[in-house]
Amino acid sequence: MTGRAILAVATAALLAFLASPASFAPVFAPFTRNGAPAIYTQTPILSLTLSHLALVAAAVAVSTVVALALAIAVTRPAGREFLPLARTITAVGQTFPPVAVLALAVPIMGFGAGPTLIALFLYGLLPVFENALAGLTGLPRSVTEAARGMGLTPRQRLWQVELPLALPVILTGMRLTAVISLGTATIGSTVAARTLGEVIIAGLLSSNTAFVLQGGAVVGVMAVLIHAGFQAVERLAASRAGRA
């Protein structure tokens, strides 16, 4: 119950700050020095937030579609040969530092949102893929056998049995991807993507802690909210799948 109350307060505070950043100046003023501005105004924080979210949403959507397609492919009889390889790539890929991926995407995509999107997409593939794989391969044998025994075609088995049962686990993968992407996207500002990282970096460059705090707080609160939102959907999906 206290958890929900905190979430509600956090949501309200976030919306109020995005609607009218200037009215929060007294909150952040103690963190400035030498009369520096307390609120970042170069670009409206709301617009940075929206483009930040858009970038993350696009990356999560694309990684989910691609990762899910790959996971389905390697769990079909025709793609089974790729399964061990896919597992290895997943394990190794996750050790790649997101910042390095971001930096390496610059020569291919140039500066701007492109490399960030690529990095977020690549980094986001792995959690979804890993979880989808776990979900699709971890189904109880009795269930898949029953589906076969009742005469469902492979395609019907996939859509009517396997995917619905794997959904909660897939959603968990999406949640991990979304939360990681949200934080990693801030680094995108070092390659000129329009994200909330811009506010933080401006704070770092001008030694204005207020900027660092407000950029960090907006991203942090969004991460908590997205985390909670996904968890609620996961619980729903799990109860639909008969696991809760």
Question: What is the phi/psi pair of residue 99, to 5°?
Answer: -65, -40
Residue 104 CB-half CA count within 13 A? 10
* Closest separation in Å from C-beta 61 to another protein: 21
Nearer to another protein, 160 or 207 (CB): 207
- Residue 230 tokens read as 């996904």
Distance from chain centroid for Cα 202: 24
* Rg of the chain taking only CA atoms, in angstroms: 21
Nearer to another protein, 71 or 166 (CB): 71
The residue type at 89:
I
Nearer to another protein, 58 or 82 (CB): 82
- Residue 180 tokens read as 């990681």
* Closest separation in Å from C-beta 12 to another protein: 17
The residue type at 51:
S
Nearer to another protein, 157 or 227 (CB): 227
**Cα separation of 181 and 184, whole Å?**
5
* Closest separation in Å from C-beta 187 to another protein: 6
- Which residues contribute to the site for another protein (CB under 8 A)? 31, 81-82, 84-85, 87-89, 91-92, 94-100, 103-104, 106-107, 179, 182-183, 186-187, 189-191, 196-197, 200-201, 203-204, 207, 209, 212-213, 215-217, 219-220, 223-224, 227
* Closest separation in Å from C-beta 142 to another protein: 26
Residue 214 CB-half CA count within 13 A? 34
Nearer to another protein, 167 or 200 (CB): 200
